[in-house]
Amino acid sequence: MSSSIAFEHPWALALLPLALLPLLRRRRDTLAFPSLAWLPPDRVGQIIGWLWPVFAVLALASSILALAQPGRPQTQVQRTGKGAEILVLLDRSRSMDDRMLPANWREIDPANLLYHLAKGPQKAQVARELLSQFVSRRPDDRFSLMYFSNRPLGVVPFTQHDAVMQAGIAAGAIGRGLADTEVGRGLIAAIAQFDQRAYSGSRIMLLVSDGGAHLDAETMQRIRFGLARNRIALYWIYLRSYNSAKLDSTEPRWENAPEMALHRFFRTLQTPYRVYQAEDPGELSRAVADVERQQNLPLDFLEQIPRQDYSRVFLAVAAFSCAMLLLYRSMLLRSLP
Amino acid sequence: MSTSREFHYRLPRRSGGWRPGSHPGSSLGAGQEFVSHVSLYDRPDPRRLDLRASLREVRGDWLVRVNRQRVSVPVHVIADVSTSMSFGLPKSKLHIVADFVTALGHSAFRVGDALGMFAFDAHERPDLFVPALLSRGVGDVMASMLTNCTGAAGSGEGLEEAVLHLAGRPGLIFIASDFHWPLDRLDGVLDLLTHAYVVPLVIWDPAEMQPPKRDGLMPLRDLESGRRSTVWLRPGMRARWHEAVQRRRAELSAIFSARGIRPFYISGEFDNEALSHYFFEVTA
């Protein structure tokens, strides 16, 4: 990091000797008096008489320097940061209103499972709670929130204000779930959020959904290129329903499940992809904590510090000096009697 | 106009000299002032025979009246032509001196006194020397010389050099100056002039005696040294200004009054009436 000062218009510095003009003392500026020894000495007046050429020189010199536009040139600074840009893409479909399995569902008699299932917390609610904790724990990050169902619903654009984000998450509780799960359109809209944004840190898209979708080739292409272009890492928190596919299963009956199809597609991405399969609230919170840990990695990046212009300072000095000179002039007596 | 600017002056004490004039003199001759009776044999002037006194004379001598003659005295102006004398509005101090010299020329010619001039700034100015002349126009000549001259810084040494020419001679000497130089030499100068009657004309411009009415900053330049100084005129400064003028006046009057001399102050305009009054008061 250099602190050197460079001038935008160095030729203006050639005018700098003009600033010495006020030091040329002219008889015109003064009133002739027969004998100064006659007058009582005036300390204050002498200081003022000494100050005004200083102000005059200062006014000229700083105006010329302001013309030359001094400034610190544009530099690049190596910075290490922790912040990331996180876009939360939350499923708002009807199925998210379903309840989650209790943590000990494996020990429960399958005959009673449906009963316990009805008593569990809603998936969307658990997801919202965890997300709001996640957001409040990461004040350095910039968040964006987007719901999707049969169409994407942008809620909060990228912001660093957590309160807005929390309000957006809380707004997800209003009403009931919507009809469909159009993951493809949601992803494309979410990717579009990153367009036109300067790349300032790692970018994460956090897809929270309980189902997948079959994507057509064109949508897949767009998602693939979009993620690559904006360098977005995709984290999928898959809230598995009681009767839906496990992503790691190789059973042929799940071969055509939309979740599996989506997972298969995501695995072909060039960009980083990670999936968390959460079946109960504990697992969901583990998944969120994992994401949190993942993205706490320090991030080295070059920050461009734009050119800093100091001419305002010089203009301020010049204006102040001119004001002082005007004050001096207004106090000046033009003639003796 | 010039005749109206004349002033009346008489010396308060007797001066020597033989040239008839109008000042009280110490020599005997044709005059109104009776001194004594002298025997006709001692002073064979039968025109002034005093018959009444001769009859009363016990010894029977013929007595002649002896009167004292009024004399003329040489009048000299010692003019300060230093740069500070060129200050003054609307009339510079040097112009005031010229006015005075003009009036003095007429007044001196009227009473039959010879008028001469010396000038000085840092040193004596021989180019401005005028010998004592009995001439009607000498005052105007001297005035024009004064108004057309340029001077340097004034000093007591210049005055001393000019005064050396007049040392020990009787007469009337006007010292026209603003006395803006160190006064330590003034005492010695006055010692040289004990035989003459000295009238110091202290010429100050109102602008240097009175600060401007408006408060503000005055970037001032000394006319003689070129030194610069800024004065911030404010009520306290005003008071100190007046004090300084008073102090200078007191210094001058202390030096002059030690020799029984009363300075005549001129400010702004030469006032011939005031100068006449000055002489009336002195001679009364």
Interface test with A, best of B91, B232, B243 (most A CBs within 10 A): B232
Residue that has been written with the tokens 């897809």 in this structure: A207
State the nearest Cα–Cα gap between A43 and chain B, in angstroms.
8
Average pLDDT over residues B197-205: 93
Q: Checking DSSP bridges between strand A70-72 and strand A308-309, what pairing results, if any?
A: antiparallel
Residues of B in contact with A337 (CB under 8 A): 89, 206-207, 210, 212
The residue type found at A97 is D
Average pLDDT over residues B99-125: 92
DSSP A121-163: PBHHHHHHHHHHHHHHH-TTSEEEEEEESSSEEEEEEEES-HH
Average pLDDT over residues B152-173: 89
Note the helical H segments in chain A: 43-68, 113-119, 123-137, 162-171, 183-194, 217-230, 258-267, 281-294, 311-331
Do the chains contact at B221 and A45, CB–CB below 8 Å?
no
Q: Checking DSSP bridges between strand B115-120 and strand B130-133, what pairing results, if any?
A: antiparallel
CB A71 within 8 A of CB A5: yes
Residues sharing a CB contact under 8 Å with residue B167, sequence separation 6 or more, in sequence order: B192, B193
Higher pLDDT, residue A292 or B166 = B166
Do the chains contact at B232 and A44, CB–CB below 8 Å?
yes
Structural domains of chain B, with CATH: 28-68 (no CATH), 75-283 (3.40.50.410)
At residue A81, the pLDDT reads 61
Residue that has been written with the tokens 């003019």 in this structure: B79
Angle, alpha carbons B1-B6-B12 (nearest 5°): 175
Q: Determine phi and psi for B143, rounding to 5 degrees.
A: -65, -45
At residue B255, the pLDDT reads 93
Task: Specify which residues B216 forms β-bridges with.
Answer: B233
Sign (positive or negative) of CA dihedral A92, A98, A104, A106: negative
Supply the angle between the helices A162-171 and A123-137 in degrees, to the nearest 10: 180
Q: Give CA–CA dist B254/B228, Å, rounded.
A: 30
At residue A80, the pLDDT reads 65
Longest dimension (CA), chain A: 121
Average pLDDT over residues B46-56: 91
Tell me the percentage of chain B whose pLDDT exceeds 70.
99
Do the chains contact at A36 and B84, CB–CB below 8 Å?
no
pLDDT at position B1 over 60: no
Kindly list the distances between the CA atom of residue B200 and the CA atoms of A62, A275, B257, B260, B278, in Å, as whole numbers in the listed order: 56, 116, 11, 12, 12
State the nearest Cα–Cα gap between B23 and chain A, in angstroms.
37
Supply the angle between the helices A43-68 and A311-331 in degrees, to the nearest 10: 150
The residue type found at A24 is L
Structural domains of chain A, with CATH: 6-74+308-331 (no CATH), 79-303 (3.40.50.410)
At residue B130, the pLDDT reads 93
Kindly list the distances between the CA atom of residue A216 and the CA atoms of A135, A253, A265, B200, in Å, as whole numbers in the listed order: 33, 21, 11, 121
CB B120 within 8 A of CB B158: yes
CB B60 within 8 A of CB B75: no
At residue A1, the pLDDT reads 41
Residues of A in contact with B268 (CB under 8 A): none
- Residue-by-residue pLDDT tens, chain A, 337 positions: 446 788 888 898 899 999 998 888 777 778 888 888 888 888 888 898 889 889 999 999 999 999 998 888 888 777 666 667 788 888 887 777 777 766 666 666 766 766 766 667 777 888 888 888 888 877 777 788 888 888 888 888 877 777 888 888 888 878 777 777 778 888 888 888 888 777 766 788 888 887 777 788 888 888 888 888 888 888 888 887 766 777 777 777 777 778 888 888 888 888 888 888 777 777 777 777 777 776 655 656 566 677 888 889 999 999 999 999 999 999 888 877 6
ipTM of this predicted complex?
0.76
pLDDT at position B19 over 80: yes
At residue B2, the pLDDT reads 46
Residues of A in contact with B222 (CB under 8 A): 33-37
Average pLDDT over residues B272-279: 93
pLDDT at position B221 over 80: yes
At residue A176, the pLDDT reads 75
Sign (positive or negative) of CA dihedral A5, A7, A10, A14: negative
Average pLDDT over residues B61-74: 91
Q: In the structure, what pLDDT confidence band is assigned to residue B9 with cuts at 50, 70 and 90? A: very high
The closest of B116, B93, B95, B92 to B104, measured between CA atoms, is B116
Output the pTM of the full model: 0.64
Q: Checking DSSP bridges between strand A299-305 and strand A31-33, what pairing results, if any?
A: unpaired
Q: Determine phi and psi for A154, rounding to 5 degrees.
A: -70, 130
Angle, alpha carbons A90-A91-A95 (nearest 5°): 150
Cis peptide before B90 (omega within 30 of 0): yes
State the nearest Cα–Cα gap between A330 and chain B, in angstroms.
8
At residue A117, the pLDDT reads 67
Residue that has been written with the tokens 């989506």 in this structure: A262
